Structure 1
Amino acid sequence: MATAILTIDLDAIAANWRALDQMTASDCQTGAVVKADSYGLGAAKVAHALARAGARRFFVAAAEEGAEVRRALGSGPQICVFSGHMEGDTRLIADFDLTPMLNSIDQLTRHFESLGSHPFGIQLDTGMNRLGLEPVEWEAVASTAIAAGPELLMSHLACADEPEHPMNGAQLRAFRAMTDGTGLPRSLSATGGLLLGPDYHFELTRPGIGLYGGRPYENARPVVRLSLPVVQVREVEIGETVGYSNTWTAQHTSTIATVAAGYADGLPRTLSGKATLYAGRVPCPLVGRVSMDLITVDVSHLPEVPETLDILGIHQTPDDLADIGGTIGYEILTSLGNRYQRRYGGLSA
């Protein structure tokens, strides 16, 4: 079989959610971010697992994602849409009972005119300059918006993965200045903000990457294993080269495994000549260039070449691989390709 297998541990995702939930007070709700198909791991199955663990409020990027999660979960849990109420979203918001997090005066107007009695939240910009009403805009509409009864006031931290960064405190102060005294539920923190402590928790946290085993939640259980099939094995003599542009030359007679995955499957080309794969616990270096569909791995030291080699698992997390490739774990996870067979179960050693 020339198709890689991506194993996803739903129990680990649920355990990560429960552990993060336990870090907050009993009166602080813990939501769950399942946008981008739950970071590439399958929103329907992940949302089910999180709902069983106790999550009751889910966050997606777009209304279309919200509709998919609603189909999976049925009625009951609240599904909030970060992009708000976009042009053309009205039917989806109404039909799938989604809660748009309104980001602008235009969105407030659109929502009140088309779905006046439908639940909504409001996103405020506290300095990230990405989504949300800026302080001067909020001041102009706050009394009207608050009177309409938003479900949630939220903002987003720009530097929460750097606990000592002064931006965290600055955004906290800005958020309090915009929301203190409203009497409304508030949310400032995703995973990083949750880990900053109670001052950042308010009435709701909304962890994302921490659920999926990523930084800055260092105690997260690993969630994914990616096993890549070995398509061919060959002996390469001293002086022979491997792969595009002859970037690797054999210094001794070597056994090279050609493995079925490449940059079309979400393995960045920057891993060329740097990454490590694993045969069980034994590391095997990637040699030569990452190409579209294939990589090559030096397995000379193995007594027997296995049918698959792991590039993600308990010995190498998405963050570890991201460090090698000069990116972040989020990008590794969300880039995992459609050609992988996704299976749900525990991760073996």
Structure 2
Amino acid sequence: MTDDDFAGGRLTIDLGALADNWRTLAALSPASECAAVVKADAYGTGLDRAAAALAAAGAKTFFVAHLSEARVVRAAAPEAVVYVLNGLPRGAALAYAEVGVRPVLGSREEIAEWAGFIAASGANPAAAIHIDTGMTRLGLEPAEAAELMRGGGFGFRPALLMSHLACADEPERPETERQRSAFAGLRALLPDAPASLANSAGTLLSRTAGGDLAFDLRRPGVALYGSNPVAGRPAPLKPVVRLEARVIQTRDAAAGTAVGYGGVETLARPSRLAILSIGYADGILRAGGSEDGAPGAAAYVGDVRCPYVGRISMDLIAIDVTDAPASVGRGSWVEILGDHFGVDDLGRACGTIGYEVLTGLSRRYQRLYLG
């Protein structure tokens, strides 16, 4: 046996479900290519395994945040096109070209450095241009982009024009149509360049009243991993992660007993508690704990909901297993994430989003891969 066999948590990652989610999203707009965003260790699921599974499913284009991630994708999917979203660090052009990956350039300085590298090396490596249409984060201002396109271009032919949607997870917001319209107008200045706008929410939304969001390439991320970025709108996605926690002790406690740090929750009834061997050091955010009058997240034993009791500690969580089978005891496993309580459910219970839950999945868990 190895140390993994004694881990406090067991994380199962279903690569078959990941591949199926990509196929489902690809089918929503078949005239547009469906890429895969695999930054942040493929949203916590393991970049090398996830990239290989997605490539086998048919994904040909990948997006990461850093060059180190791009190297992993290049090893897992040698024929893939790989874009690095966080741009071009100063002096990194040769490294990008040697790995055969494409920076997403979002400033005049980055564009000038990339064009200078092309001129000096005689090579012609590909890159994307990022235009800010409303996120106010990375990218050229629309006026800057228009000036460069009208003034003779960037010093090279962009392999992709892209922008990023800020509010597509709230379909009623008018900003998405404003961004689509602005991006379409700028793309018209360079009509031969492939264009990309839709993220996960944009892929699921598909279009606004003004037109199609798909363009030539879509970039789903969190939806690949089973999280629905458009709250209140069903999405045909399969859960990719299942997390179970090991029970290390059970105990009976009387009504009125305070539980955990600060004693912020007192038991309303005589209760049986199970103490789990995971905590906020494992990505179960402290905000998911409970206190009197403010319930938190919940675990499941079979179909029985077992609410968290008191504050989440660094390495421990108390849950109420009074209504669960009496067989629950030391060495039992309970569901933290799965069919009953998904990443979006835990995100809501913690006052955050499924993205943060996924990307915070601990390396202390035993990891098991299916598919």
Q: 2: CA distance between counterparts of 1:301 and 1:14? A: 37
Letter in 1 for 2:41: D
Task: Name the SS for the 1:22 alignment partner.
Answer: helix
For residue 138 of structure 1, what is the aligned residue in structure 2?
145
For residue 320 of structure 1, what is the aligned residue in structure 2?
345
Task: Name the SS for the 2:28 alignment partner.
Answer: coil
For residue 89 of structure 1, what is the aligned residue in structure 2?
92
Is 1:336 the counterpart of 2:361? The answer is yes
From the superposition, tell whether residues 49 and 2 of structure 1 become closer, same or farther in structure 2 (CA, over 3 Å): closer
Letter in 1 for 2:328: V
For residue 194 of structure 1, what is the aligned residue in structure 2?
203
Task: Name the SS for the 1:287 alignment partner.
Answer: coil
Q: What do the CA deviations read for 1:270-300 (whole angstroms, capped 9, x no partner)? A: 1112111011221111101101110001112
Q: 2: CA distance between counterparts of 1:108 and 1:146? A: 7
Q: What do the CA deviations read for 1:283-325 (whole angstroms, capped 9, x no partner)? A: 1111011011100011122221051111100111110111111
1:239 offset after TM fit, Å?
Answer: 3.2
For residue 122 of structure 1, what is the aligned residue in structure 2?
129
Letter in 1 for 2:23: R
Gapped regions of structure 1 (runs ≥ 5): none
Q: What do the CA deviations read for 1:22-64 (whole angstroms, capped 9, x no partner)? A: 11133x1110000001001101100111101100000001112
Task: Name the SS for the 1:228 alignment partner.
Answer: strand
Q: Percent identity?
A: 43
Is 1:21 the counterpart of 2:26? The answer is yes
Q: Kindly indicate whether the alpha-carbon contact (under 8 Å) linking 1:70 and 1:96 is maintained by their aligned counterparts in 2.
A: yes
Letter in 1 for 2:74: R
Letter in 2 for 1:54: G
1:184 offset after TM fit, Å?
Answer: 1.1
From the superposition, tell whether residues 144 and 3 of structure 1 become closer, same or farther in structure 2 (CA, over 3 Å): farther
1:248 offset after TM fit, Å?
Answer: 2.3
Q: 2: CA distance between counterparts of 1:344 and 1:168? A: 37
Task: Name the SS for the 1:332 alignment partner.
Answer: helix
For residue 237 of structure 2, what is the aligned residue in structure 1?
220
Q: 2: CA distance between counterparts of 1:177 and 1:5? A: 49
Is 1:45 the counterpart of 2:49? The answer is yes
- Which region of structure 1 is more displaced relative to structure 2, 240-249 or 308-317? 240-249
- Which region of structure 1 is more displaced relative to structure 2, 108-117 or 56-65? 108-117
Is 1:239 the counterpart of 2:256? The answer is yes
Q: Kindly indicate whether the alpha-carbon contact (under 8 Å) linking 1:64 and 1:92 is maintained by their aligned counterparts in 2.
A: no
For residue 66 of structure 1, what is the aligned residue in structure 2?
70
TM-score, length basis structure 1: 0.95
Q: Kindly indicate whether the alpha-carbon contact (under 8 Å) linking 1:2 and 1:231 is maintained by their aligned counterparts in 2.
A: no
From the superposition, tell whether residues 2 and 50 of structure 1 become closer, same or farther in structure 2 (CA, over 3 Å): closer
Task: Name the SS for the 1:49 alignment partner.
Answer: helix
TM-score, length basis structure 2: 0.89
Is 1:297 the counterpart of 2:319? The answer is yes
Q: Kindly indicate whether the alpha-carbon contact (under 8 Å) linking 2:19 and 2:57 is maintained by their aligned counterparts in 1.
A: yes
Q: Kindly indicate whether the alpha-carbon contact (under 8 Å) linking 2:127 and 2:158 is maintained by their aligned counterparts in 1.
A: yes
Is 1:251 the counterpart of 2:255? The answer is no
Q: Kindly indicate whether the alpha-carbon contact (under 8 Å) linking 1:266 and 1:335 is maintained by their aligned counterparts in 2.
A: yes
For residue 293 of structure 2, what is the aligned residue in structure 1?
none
1:147 offset after TM fit, Å?
Answer: 6.2
1:240 offset after TM fit, Å?
Answer: 2.6
Q: What do the CA deviations read for 1:94-130 (whole angstroms, capped 9, x no partner)? A: 2211111111000001111124511111011111111
Task: Name the SS for the 1:231 alignment partner.
Answer: strand
Letter in 1 for 2:104: M
Q: CA RMSD in A?
A: 1.5
Q: Kindly indicate whether the alpha-carbon contact (under 8 Å) linking 2:7 and 2:365 is maintained by their aligned counterparts in 1.
A: no
From the superposition, tell whether residues 62 and 209 of structure 1 become closer, same or farther in structure 2 (CA, over 3 Å): same
